[in-house]
Structure 1
Amino acid sequence: MLGWSLVALVIAALAARGAIAYAHRRGMLDQPGQRRSHTLPTPRGGGIGIVLGCLVAMPGVFLSLPGPWSAWTVASLALALLLVAAIGWWDDHRPLRQWPRLGVQLLAIALFSVSLLAGTSLAWAWLPLLVLAGGWSINLHNFMDGIDALLAQQGVFVAVGLGCLAASIAQPALAGAGFVVAAGCLGFWLYNRPPARIFMGDVGSGSVGLLLFALVAMLWRVEPGMLWPALILGSAFVADASLTLLNRFLRGRRWYAPHREHLYQWLVRSGRTHARAAAWYLAWNLLVAAPAAVVARQLPAMALPACVAVYTAAGATWIVTKRRCVRRASLKDRHVAT
């Protein structure tokens, strides 16, 4: 398990470093702008390292450690990852319209979900729900990839947490897969920590969203009660992306258009550094999400109430903190104008 994690970390780090030179040669640079949170042109596409690391190490983990995963399930996950990464890599080179990109993502999720349900007693009625959940996971992680280190940091935390949950129910292959994903994100983080030398790009953000969804779905398949602590682990990102989308929808704005209305973006707009904004999310993960996930795991009767409580608290925190950031940003802009 440790060996495969080290393989993923090394591949992700080396590929991210190589992607910096490649992005400069191809002109794949994210330029500063009104809807962006960085101030210098920065290469994108470094998430290709996470993809390569996981494509090499995850099959090795699943095939070498005990678990109920067929070769078909492992192959379908690899294929889904390739599809999502490929469409993201294309988008990093030449921006695509949202509908072709979404179509490929949903196809990838459907292929994996079919293999997950096949040969089990689970009803096929779960298939559309899995496809919708997977599509949302891919896109919400893409939405949340906007400042240095934030998504890589979240990927490490959630994947380690999912690996620990899998280990606690005697699923070594699934635990190893979680640690591999975390190692891949850590390898990329080395070049993405503030000040970032490269951004993850759609190739990475969509792939991380797919991988975390796949780990949660596989955990749910072997032990349905693990869904609640798994959802708690991702509460910071799910709450921010969902509430921001809902707010834009209610205001009649195009939800899919680029913007700077996520909480992490308001934290930066109000004067905080990328490192400090990322620290807010890390604090939530360590002080709220992790302890609540432990409670949900150890006390199954409290799992659903704990999940509801965490998301309620996340929603309230989002509302209060965003209002304060908006006021602070307004005062800052007024001070600059005068």
Structure 2
Amino acid sequence: MRDIQPWLALLALALVSAVLTWLARRYALRRQLLDHPGERRSHHVATPRGGGIAIVVTALVGLAAGALLYPAAAAHLAMFAAGLVLVAGIGWWDDHRPLPAVRRLLVHMLASALLAGLVWQATGNALQAVLLFLVATALVNLWNFMDGINGIAGGYALVGALSLAAVMPMPFALLAVVVAAGCLGFLPFNFPRARIFMGDVGSGALGYLMAALAGLASVVTSIHWLALLIPLSAFIVDAGFTLSSRMLSGQRWMEPHTQHVYQRAVKAGWSHTQVTGVYILLGLVGAAVLALSVRLAPLQQAGLALAWGALLACLWAVMRVRLRNY
């Protein structure tokens, strides 16, 4: 039972996710949970939301299976699952009845603290735990900000999860496979044509899951934590620099907007498929850079990660100038 083939688990859980996404779409249509077109949105047709619950439930099924197969890890998996339920739960609530941003942020911070506690317990390194707390809180919100066009949040998370799975030993890599499976089952309903959106329940949960995988990899491998963020850097750079520019200009940065580079590209005439494809390509290149960094010393890995981030920042700045009129 423990000799699980990762690709078999991936396909089985992807099927579960696909069925759950179909059910979520029926539920959203029945409850009229729709995202309508508007000035601050990148779609033109009213579309059901909340399909990301399928990714969450698939992840929870995977975690439950892991607890049964590896009883010694059950308590840690339960704490991990509790954080996921917190983030997904507040997102599900917000999808049904919008909540104040501060209330959502407090829940995100609580879930991130659970992750940080797991890392602290495993390593005894308080600095590593604090860093994960900050990264997790950021990624939960950044993934939500980047979930604005068809396939981008799920597709980028799929690449990120598989890239982290590739550098982790078994059975830890199976957790990343579970996340990838959830995304794989959801994507046919969201890309290239969106029949349902992920919603806050899914985008926030994916940010939490990606942070958790990076945190796990930092514990079970000797890879520098900065290098583990390489496959996630395109989202971090676009969301981080865009939000920073909004703060510096005195704008209300928590409000919905269309100023991210990916949103401006769509407004400039690029299709959702083209823009999502570019980000997935950046994720694949980042995965290759991470794989190459494994052979380097930790400080060299950190330097490579910073160089990759600087390259993406330059690309962001160039695209920001080219798309400044959109």
TM over 0.5: same fold?
yes
Distance 1:164 1:291 in 2: 10
Structure 2 residue identity aligned to 1:96? L
The more displaced of 296-305 and 268-277 is 296-305
> Do the aligned residues in 2 keep the contact of 1:138 with 1:210 (CA within 8 Å)?
yes
1:8 to partner: Cα distance: 2.2
Structure 1 residue identity aligned to 2:13? A
What percent of counterpart residues are identical? 39
Distance 1:315 1:63 in 2: 43
1:62 to partner: Cα distance: 5.7
Structure 1: which 5+ residue stretches go unaligned? 330-338
Q: Which residue of structure 1 aligns with residue 3 of structure 2?
A: none
2:25 is the counterpart of 1:23: no
> Do the aligned residues in 2 keep the contact of 1:5 with 1:57 (CA within 8 Å)?
no
Distance 2:10 2:130 in 1: 32
Q: If the length of structure 2 is used for normalisation, what is the TM-score?
A: 0.93
Structure 2 residue identity aligned to 1:291? A
Q: If the length of structure 1 is used for normalisation, what is the TM-score?
A: 0.90
Structure 2: which 5+ residue stretches go unaligned? 1-5
> Do the aligned residues in 1 keep the contact of 2:116 with 2:133 (CA within 8 Å)?
yes
Q: Which residue of structure 2 aligns with residue 116 of structure 1?
A: 119
In structure 2, the CA distance between the partners of 1:113 and 1:121, relative to structure 1 (3 Å rule), is: closer
- Deviation digits for residues 271-319 of structure 1, max 9, x if unmatched? 1110011111122223x31332122112235311210111000000001
Q: Which residue of structure 2 aligns with residue 41 of structure 1?
A: 46
Distance 1:203 1:240 in 2: 21
Residue from 106, 128, 131 that aligns with 1:129: 131
Across the aligned residues of Structure 1 and Structure 2, the Cα RMSD in angstroms comes to: 1.7
> Do the aligned residues in 1 keep the contact of 2:234 with 2:312 (CA within 8 Å)?
yes
Q: Which residue of structure 1 aligns with residue 286 of structure 2?
A: 289
Q: Which residue of structure 2 aligns with residue 264 of structure 1?
A: 262
- Deviation digits for residues 216-265 of structure 1, max 9, x if unmatched? 10111223424233211111101101000111011011110110011110
> Do the aligned residues in 2 keep the contact of 1:7 with 1:53 (CA within 8 Å)?
no
Q: Which residue of structure 1 aligns with residue 207 of structure 2?
A: 209
Distance 1:27 1:128 in 2: 41
> Do the aligned residues in 2 keep the contact of 1:152 with 1:189 (CA within 8 Å)?
yes
1:65 to partner: Cα distance: 6.2
- Deviation digits for residues 114-159 of structure 1, max 9, x if unmatched? 13322x4423354443222211010000010000000010010000
Distance 2:59 2:270 in 1: 33
Kindly report which structure 2 residues correspond to 1:294-313, keeping only aligned pairs within 5 A, or say none: 294-300=291-297, 302-313=300-311
The more displaced of 231-240 and 129-138 is 129-138
Q: Which residue of structure 2 aligns with residue 332 of structure 1?
A: none
In structure 2, the CA distance between the partners of 1:73 and 1:65, relative to structure 1 (3 Å rule), is: closer
In structure 2, the CA distance between the partners of 1:179 and 1:226, relative to structure 1 (3 Å rule), is: farther
| Number of aligned residue pairs | 320
Structure 2 residue identity aligned to 1:297? V
Distance 2:224 2:66 in 1: 21
Distance 2:100 2:139 in 1: 19
